Amino acid sequence: MPEATHLPKLKSDPAGPLTIHGLPNKVRTVFERMPHHIREFLGTCPCAGTGVHVWVFNAARRLHRFFPDKDALAQLLQFVTRDCGRTVPWSEISDAIKNSSNSRRGPYPAKQTWAPKWPERNRLLIEQIGLKGPTLADLSALSPVPLSDGTRNTETIIDALFPGNPLLCCGRSSSAFATRPREDWRGSLHARQLIVPSPMSDLTGRRKSDGRESAHTLANTGPREFLVVEFDFKESDDTGKATLDAPLLRSLAAGGVSVADLCAALHQHLAQYAPLAMVVHSGGKSLHGWFFAHGQPDATMLPFMRYAISIGADPATWTRSQFVRMPDGTRDNGKLQRVHFFNPEVLP
């Protein structure tokens, strides 16, 4: 496992056993060089209900001067609060880092913007996984539910993914969409290309950009039901210039591994760490893997996403409200967004 991510195995232990040796080297190195009194303080996180929130703020304030890299600071805070008796979500840690920057000690700027930093691609590991397989055809053959090339299973699959009658946000495009009860969509979902992979909490919410009401916002997206991971590799960009992935893709092609085969192998690899419910072809070149995440806090899923990104995933789908491809839906170019793998056994 590359240092980019020390993954908890979500299937067996949602919280993931962490030790100081489970932290990235850069975090562990800074921790070991801290003054003794700071290290002692980091061992005093109170129990849930007795001031964890305030303690996290104070810890962040004390640690700013040791961590120019705020992502590393967040990982340490996540570690030292692991046994407090409740989940300290990534959003709470992020807010503590941002809000405490105004009151921290030391000759540093008073304000900093911060967001999680994603790891660089580990192309050597990507190549190793791609060569190991399986191919896309192999993955399709492994599907617990046989899927016919000529039959659209959109309605059946959506019923399994989102039982009952939850609010779903679906669209023909990123500008033509609506949020409706699931039953109001029945019979028409195959004609849509996009869906938010979690039920919505309300019909509309306010957009962060301008405060206007919209049927598709983060504000009206409910808790994460699925974390969708998208793999997409290109030899050249829109201008025809070779990408950084070009040598990797050429090497794999020489070994008989296509881009689709590589994406399939990466999803099967990730299935070791989280329950893989479905793999959907985009109708273009990418594959979307739907990983069941119900009840898992972001703090638990984040290491998984970081690892996925280190082996080529697009960070965009970390946002809960991000549109992804409708299973067996229709892309705007008319192509089928075929489901290659479907495993309802991982669903409740």
Q: Which domain holds residue 234?
A: 123-346
Is 278 in contact with 327 (CB distance < 8 Å)? Answer: yes
The number of angstroms, rounded, from the C-alpha of 72 to the middle of its chain's C-alpha atoms is 18
Residue 227's CATH number:
3.90.920
178 and 196 co-located in one domain = yes
Can the peptide bond before residue 134 be classed as cis, meaning omega within 30 degrees of 0?
A: yes
Is the same domain home to 177 and 281? yes
Query: What three-state secondary structure class fits 156?
Result: helix
Q: Are residues 58 and 156 in the same domain?
A: no
Burial of 146-162, coded b for 16+ CB within 10 Å and e otherwise, reads eeeeeebbbbebbebbb
- DSSP single-letter state for residue 109: -
88 and 197 within one domain? no
Distance (Å, whole) CA 8 – CA 227: 15
**Which region among 47-51, 181-185, 190-194, 259-263 has the lowest average model confidence (pLDDT)?**
47-51
Q: Across 182-327, where does the E strand assignment appear?
A: 194-195, 205-206, 213-214, 226-231, 276-281, 287-292, 324-325
Give CA torsion, residues 6, 12, 15, 20, to 10 deg.
-40
What was the pLDDT predicted at 104?
Answer: 44
Last residue of a domain, one of 117, 140, 169: 117
Judgement on whether residues 160 and 273 belong to the same structural domain of the protein: yes
Task: Provide the token pair at 60.
Answer: 């962040």
* Location of structure tokens 């893989």: 276
User: Residue 70 in contact with residue 112, Cβ under 8 Å?
Assistant: yes
Q: Which of 117, 143, 164 is the last residue of a domain?
A: 117
Same domain? 85 vs 141: no
Reported residue count of the chain is 348
DSSP run (H or E) holding 169: strand 167-173
Task: Select from 117, 148, 179 the last residue of a domain.
Answer: 117
The 10s digit of each residue's pLDDT in 54-109 is 889 889 988 988 888 898 899 899 888 888 888 888 888 988 898 887 654 443 33
Residues 208 and 321 placed together within one structural domain of the fold: yes
Q: Are residues 5 and 41 in the same domain?
A: yes
Contact 284, 331 (CB under 8 A): yes
36 sits in which H/E element:
helix 36-41
Confidence of residue 323 (pLDDT cuts 50, 70, 90): very high
In a shared domain, residues 315 and 229: yes
Report the percent of the chain where pLDDT is more than 90.
Answer: 60
What local confidence, expressed as pLDDT, does residue 7 receive?
Answer: 38
Contact 10, 296 (CB under 8 A): yes
Q: Residue 51: pLDDT band by 50, 70, 90 thresholds?
A: confident
* CA–CA distance, 201 with 329 (Å, rounded to integer): 23
Do 131 and 78 have their domain in common? no
The position carrying tokens 């890299």 is 69
91 and 157 both lie in a single domain:
no
263 and 242 within one domain: yes
Q: What is the pLDDT of residue 115?
A: 57
> Crossing angle, helix 298-310 and helix 259-270, to 10 degrees?
150
Quote the number of domains for the chain.
2
Sheet holding 176-181, edge to edge: 176-181, 167-173, 194-195, 324-325
pLDDT, tens digit, 9 for 90 and up, residues 123-150: 999 999 999 999 999 999 999 998 876 7
Strand partners, 41: none
Per-residue pLDDT at 1 exceeds 60: no
Give the mean pLDDT of the chain: 87
**Residue 111's pLDDT band (boundaries 50, 70, 90)?**
very low
- Which residue has tokens 């009952």? 164
